[in-house]
Amino acid sequence: MEKIGFIGVGIMGRGMVRNLMKAGYEVNIFARHPKKVSDIVAEGAVLHDTIASCVKAVEVVITIVGFPTDVEEVYFKAGNILDSAIEGSVLIDMTTTSPTLAERIFAEGTKRGLKVLDAPVTGGDTGAKNGTLSILVGGEESVYEHCLPIFQAMGTTITYFGPAGNGQHAKLANQIMIAGALSGVCEALTYAKKKGLNLTTLLGAVSKGAAGSAQLNTFGPKIISEDYAPGFYLKHLLKDLKLADEEAVAEGLSLDVLSQVLSEYQELEDKGMGDLGTQALIHYYRREK
């Protein structure tokens, strides 16, 4: 069984690493703040003090970091992944990032004799913990098939979308859907509260009907209880929506819902709410007009 290197042991990465170890993989990790992963190390992960050391010890490298700039750094900075990976290794970026950047990593990795997949995920921290993530994959199909057991250790819905970058395009489509659905939840709860309805009763009445959705069922109760702890950071969804908007503009598409929710999240980020969960979108509707 291949040894796996994992870079990005954050909200999502922690559960993913644990599930890989449960599946029997030796997982080598790099973390900028080693103290934050001491529990993962105690459970069996092998901690390295450099990216290069981690990458040289494994056959498969998985990354899930914050922003496209972080992806560029871990892959392209001198001495990091592309410089250090052993020829024939597989590189899997599971960050939601630019499709163009995914294509660039694929091209550069291929030049160096490496196999590259873009495989962003959806399902939040709960999916990461439970091993029920949906994984959206782009790259060469033979590499995808080879890595399927690894993906199955972390997720339950694994889908191949075609050439490099297509996994990222699929994820951006997913984020557009989330943006519209969560915005609808926030608008509905704002309306219902203004009309004096009991919000918990309302959720019980509509969540199993046509209005039901993962966004309503997951975040409706949290919004009602004013729980804004991040399962997925507001700032990270904002980043994703910006990427989707850039791709839409490049294609000449006018996606009005995307543009509106993007502006709403940007306003909240500007007010210092980026480290809250995505359900903090309700603050936009509660602001003074």
Map the chain to HEC letters. CCCEEEECCCHHHHHHHHHHHHCCCCEEEECCCHHHHHHHHHCCCEEECCHHHHHHCCCEEEECCCCHHHHHHHHHCCCCHHHHCCCCCEEEECCCCCHHHHHHHHHHHHHCCCEEEECCEECHHHHHHHCCEEEEEEECHHHHHHHHHHHHHHEEEEEECCCCCHHHHHHHHHHHHHHHHHHHHHHHHHHHHHCCCCHHHHHHHHCCCCCCCHHHHHHHHHHHCCCCCCCCEHHHHHHHHHHHHHHHHHCCCCCHHHHHHHHHHHHHHHCCCCCCEHHHHHHHHHCCC
- Burial code (b: 16+ CB inside 10 Å, e: under 16) for 35-52 equals eebeebeeeebbbbeebb
Residue 194 appears among annotated catalytic residues: no
Catalytic residue among 129, 171, 235, 239: 171
The catalytic residues are: 171
